[in-house]
Amino acid sequence: MATDNVIDIDSVWTQYGDIVIHRDLTLGVHYGEVMAIIGGSGSGKTTLLRLMLGLEGPSRGTIKVFGVPLQGCAAGDLRQTRNRWGVLFQEGALFSALSVFDNVALPLRELKALPEDVIRELVMMKLDLVEIDTISVNKMPAELSGGMVKRVALARALALNPELLFLDEPTAGLDPERSHGFVQLIESLRRALNLTVVMVTHDVDTLLALSDRVAVLANQQLLTVGPLWEIVQNKDPFVQNFFLGHGKRCEQENIKDFRDKMAVRLHAA
Ligand SMILES: Nc1ncnc2c1ncn2[C@@H]1O[C@H](COP(=O)(O)OP(=O)(O)OP(=O)(O)O)[C@@H](O)[C@H]1O
């Protein structure tokens, strides 16, 4: 059945031995939205991300990305589908033995279809997008600040012009100023590149700045999903604790942000 979703998670169970991590979880990610996933430690956020990336299979249920079921599809279809998304792993996860340039070039070289001069042009374009200057192109990851590592990793995630971007704790390890700058960069790029974004985060400021909807995982299930201003009104103790002291701010700022986003979309339509 055709849906308006980029990702369809349908009745998914994840189990390790007797331990159930996800119990009958169903969630759809709409085209063009930023879906944030929150939940307590061990609630299964990273595992859910790994399921959406096809790095693990569920014990039961199905996961489709761009309408392609990740389990049981032909290897070629899976490869093609993977080329339509980019991933920013926690801590950047750059290859320490490769320069900035080679890290970003890697997904392009893996296509085995592009000449080196085209790869050079594309890499420089992506590095420019994430505001990395030409002086840093030949640096090794160990020579970069935490903020630069994130931006290079973002350039690599965008190397193949993805339609879908996965972010795992995008601002973890950054000080508030760098975190704010990085969130602004993601927001401007996702608008400019028309991206659908799925992100796992613990950070309320990141949620406020980026999320259209928030999915809350608790007790092995999807507790609730909706826009932030609606989520903060949920009386579940995890939700109340998560937004402790931020509730009113989330409601006020997010309602305003929600209106702004709607105005942009209505204007664009
Ligand atoms: N391969 C595995 N084998 C056994 N247990 C696993 C495996 N992968 C994850 N788990 C368990 O699944 C649970 C959920 O882990 P997950 O990393 O998804 O949680 P999380 O919500 O991302 O937590 P955190 O916020 O602390 O990173 C944890 O109890 C973890 O120990």
For ligand 1, atom 28: residue with the closest CA? 42
What pLDDT does residue 98 have?
Answer: 96
Residue 167 three-state SS: strand
195: left (phi over 0), alpha (psi -120 to 50) or beta: beta
What pLDDT does residue 264 have?
Answer: 63
Say what the pTM is. 0.90
Ligand 1 centre from 74 Cα, in Å? 28
What pLDDT does residue 146 have?
Answer: 86
Q: What would the two tokens of residue 244 be? A: 């402790």
* CA distance linking residue 65 with residue 57, whole number of Å: 13
**Percent of residues in the chain assigned helix, strand, coil, to nearest 5:** 45, 25, 35
Kindly indicate whether the ipTM for this predicted assembly is greater than 0.85, answering yes or no: yes
* CA distance linking residue 68 with residue 82, whole number of Å: 10
E strand or H helix at 60: strand 60-65
Q: Which of 45, 47, 90 to mutate to test the pocket of ligand 1 (most atoms within 8 A of CB)?
A: 47
* CA distance linking residue 156 with residue 149, whole number of Å: 11
What pLDDT does residue 178 have?
Answer: 86
Residue with tokens 């935490």: 146
- 138-160 per-residue burial string, b: 16 or more CB within 10 A, e: under 16: eeebeebebbbbbbbbbbbbbbb
Q: Which of 45, 198, 203, 216 to mutate to test the pocket of ligand 1 (most atoms within 8 A of CB)?
A: 45
Query: What pLDDT tens digit does each residue of the chain (269 aa) get?
Result: 556 799 999 999 999 999 999 999 999 999 999 999 999 988 999 999 999 999 999 999 999 999 999 988 888 888 889 999 999 988 668 999 999 999 999 999 998 889 999 999 999 999 999 999 999 999 999 999 888 999 999 999 999 999 999 999 998 888 888 888 889 889 989 988 899 999 999 888 899 889 999 999 999 999 999 998 889 889 999 998 888 777 777 777 777 776 776 666 556 55
Atom of ligand 1 nearest to the CA of 43: 21
What pLDDT does residue 263 have?
Answer: 66
